[in-house]
Amino acid sequence: MALHDRISDPPTDFFTDNKSPDSVHIWNPQITSFIATQVAKHRPMVLVTSGGTIVPLEKNTVRFLDNFSAGTRGACSAEHFIRNGYAVIFLHRQFSLLPYSRHYSHSTHCFLDFMDLEDDGAGGLRTVILAQYEEEMRSVLKEYKRAKQENSLLVVSFITVTEYLFLLRDIAQCMAPLGSNALLYLAAAVSDFHLPPDKMSLHKIQSHGGRRLVLDLEPVPKFLRKLVEHWAPQAMIVSFKLETEERLLIPKCRAALKSYGHQLVIGNLLDRRKYEVILVQQDSERWIRVSDGELEDILVPEVIERHKRWAVKMKSSI
């Protein structure tokens, strides 16, 4: 069987079988107003998705399955997009890494280790940044403050795969009027399997009597096709492909491009994701490799170049 033949939709409609989560209605006014502000400023806009989705096993959730991702790719990329003049909607897994604060969280150092206490000369103490961290912290702080001042970042969060998909649909549809000025950069690690609501236990699954737990998960529908065809048909769509076996990476990137008809797949291997990625388009393949520093330093400007070319092409074809 060809790889792309395996990519198929399950027979049910995810969006009617699952109830729209409250968060979609809560976030919608902020998303709409953020987009309107950016349109007035003629800024290009990118939706960056980041972090892993969870699949709850119970409605009153005690246990769940998670998808691997710290959110580094997404948070780091968001900073680079903002630096390059984009407005960013950052749709991320709650408590995964955030742009700017990522430099000081989830590290082996506690953020308090970057600071010290000093005599204030008046019998008290004041907090200071340790000299060796000051320069870097000043530049991160400057960028963070500028992003806030210029209102170029909207942070939206999800937890479950259901919440992620509903929010993705809503944001993509809100961005659709931007046409080819919109870029969707889907770096989140999305679960391929889930437990539909009618199969989910209401309460905590009991383990008495040495019971085994056998999970029968259903496929999550492939949302990329809907994104390309219906939700934001003019936007440039960049998806990521994560594999652990090198021999599968390029064929799977190609299969995704062929199945969904979107513009760019960025492939990465789990253990080398920080140092190399491959950009796969219909007529090209390009590796980006770094030995130190952030890969996104090169990756994001490259994606932006391709987005510019896409926008020109779309505008000239109208």
Instruction: Pick from 24, 39, 70, 176 the residue near ligand PMT by CB under 6 A.
Output: 70
Instruction: Pick from 18, 77, 162, 239 the residue near ligand PMT by CB under 6 A.
Output: 239
Residues in contact with ligand PMT, counted by CB under 6 A, come to a total of: 20
Task: Report the distance separating Cα 67 and Cα 165, nearest Å.
Answer: 14
Handedness of CA 33, 31, 156, 158 (dihedral sign): positive
Q: Does residue 304 bind ligand PMT (CB under 6 A)?
A: no
Contact 36, 174 (CB under 8 A): no
Instruction: Pick from 82, 91, 189, 235 the residue near ligand PMT by CB under 6 A.
Output: 189
- Closest distance to ligand PMT from the beta carbon of 8 (Å): 11
Q: Does residue 223 bind ligand PMT (CB under 6 A)?
A: yes
- The angle formed by the CA atoms of residues 91, 95 and 101, to the nearest 5 degrees, is 85
- Closest distance to ligand PMT from the beta carbon of 39 (Å): 25
Task: Report the distance separating Cα 239 and Cα 256, nearest Å.
Answer: 9
Here's the x/- map for ligand PMT, 154-173, by CB under 6 A: it reads as --------------------
Q: Measuring CA to CA, how many Å separate 52 from each of 38, 81, 241?
A: 28, 21, 13
Contact 117, 127 (CB under 8 A): yes
Instruction: Pick from 4, 83, 106, 273 the residue near ligand PMT by CB under 6 A.
Output: 273
Q: Which amino acid is at 241?
A: K
Contact 289, 298 (CB under 8 A): no
Q: Does residue 229 bind ligand PMT (CB under 6 A)?
A: no
Q: Which amino acid is at 295?
A: L
SS3 state at 60: coil
Neighbours of 301 (CB within 10 A): 14
DSSP for 68-103, please give it.
---SHHHHHHHHHHHHTT-EEEEEEETTS--TTGGG
Stretch that binds ligand PMT, among 101-109, 127-135, 171-179, 217-225 (CB under 6 A): 217-225
- Closest distance to ligand PMT from the beta carbon of 285 (Å): 17
Stretch that binds ligand PMT, among 29-37, 126-134, 220-228, 310-318 (CB under 6 A): 220-228
DSSP for 251-292, please give it.
HHHHHHHHHH--SEEEEEEGGGTTTEEEEEETTEEEEEE-SS
- Closest distance to ligand PMT from the beta carbon of 97 (Å): 7
Q: Does residue 99 bind ligand PMT (CB under 6 A)?
A: no
Q: Does residue 47 bind ligand PMT (CB under 6 A)?
A: no
Instruction: Pick from 220, 235, 249, 278 the residue near ligand PMT by CB under 6 A.
Output: 220
Q: Does residue 263 bind ligand PMT (CB under 6 A)?
A: no
Q: What is the binding site for ligand PMT (CB under 6 A)?
A: 69-73, 186-187, 189-190, 192, 220, 222-224, 239-242, 268, 273
